[in-house]
Structure 1
Amino acid sequence: MSVIKGIKEETLILRLVSGDQTAFELLFRFYYPGLVIFASRIVLDRDEAEEIVQNFFVKLWSDRKRIRKSETLKSYFFACVKNHALNHLKREKISERVRNELRKMIETDRLYQPDVFVESELQHRIKSAFEKLPPRTNEIFTLSRFNGLSNQQIAEQLQISKRTVETQISNALKLLREELKDFMFILMLF
């Protein structure tokens, strides 16, 4: 399970089921933007997508006692919004052929997978993790990983020992792994 704003998802589920409005608000703020983008790719209308997602959250709050404590919210939320969006298309009398094509595309295309919509949170966490690196460590890591310099080249350019470069890169990787541990499953995809 993931961590949202420092709180384990399973704790948020328990709090939500018990009627905690703060837990509901945290979940809303965390998932709303990604769910709207997801729904808008299905219904092709941002306003309709927002309405679908807002209706989903209203229903979530009113039916919160039915949420099973073992569910992961991300997959549950995206599946529900997908179904609401497809139902919207059905009500709008979109042809059966177009609905079937959309359904197939949603199930197979990477752009419609929930993890894509969590990536903006990942980008924020990566930026935040890099800001936590000491300036010199950040500089060395950037030269190594983004500029493609060897450890020897970095050592010569910064006039430090190769061992110092290796230590700084190791320290950076350790901190980044710790800061991004909740997203390791996504990072492995790239």
Structure 2
Amino acid sequence: MFNDFEEIFRRYYPAVLRFVMSLVKSRHDAEDIAQEVFSALWPKRDIWMDNPDIDRYIYRTARYMTIDHLRQKSLKSTFSIDGVAYSDYIDSLMDDYDALDPLI
């Protein structure tokens, strides 16, 4: 059915973006996820080349990537220490750490 990846992208990207945005409620996050969907699809030529069910594959991939994004976002908000996100806390600890300290 499809021989050109650009054709697939043009046809499905707007709908995938709307689908993802309806779930994540953030245009920026939805654009990132939609781009990831098509970036993951691009190297899999055997999947998108002449596949009449490519839409099913694309939407399934979008759904899984969106769920993964929401899980990661939930975990980040769950782990906080004194109102500071856990990842920010770890980053602040690493900023104070000097690799030479144990040697000195």
TM category (shorter chain) comes to 0.5 to 0.7
Q: Deviations over 1:39-69 (max 9, x none)?
A: 001111111111101111111012223x175
Equivalent position amino acid for 1:32 in 2: Y
Q: Which residue of 2 aligns with 1:3?
A: none
Greater radius of gyration (CA): 1
Q: Which residue of 1 aligns with 2:98?
A: none
Structure 1 residues 70 and 64 mapped into 2: Cα distance closer, same or farther (>3 Å)? Answer: closer
Equivalent position amino acid for 2:33 in 1: I
Structure with greater helix share of residues: 1
Q: Indicate the percent of aligned positions where both proteins have the same amino acid.
A: 30
Q: Which fold has the larger relative contact order, with Cα–Cα distance below 8 Å and residues 6 or more apart in sequence?
A: 2
Q: Which residue of 2 aligns with 1:106?
A: none
Q: Which residue of 1 aligns with 2:12?
A: 31
Shift of 1:71: 5.2
Describe how 1:15-164 pairs up with structure 2 within 5 A.
15=3, 23-65=4-46, 67=47, 72-93=53-74
Equivalent position amino acid for 2:43 in 1: S
Residue 92 of structure 1 aligns to a residue in which SS?
helix
Gapped regions of structure 2 (runs ≥ 5): 76-104
What is the root-mean-square deviation in Å for CA atoms of aligned residues? 1.7
Runs of 4+ in 1 over 4 A off after TM superposition: 68-71
TM-score by length of 1: 0.36
TM-score by length of 2: 0.64
Gapped regions of structure 1 (runs ≥ 5): 1-9, 16-22, 95-190
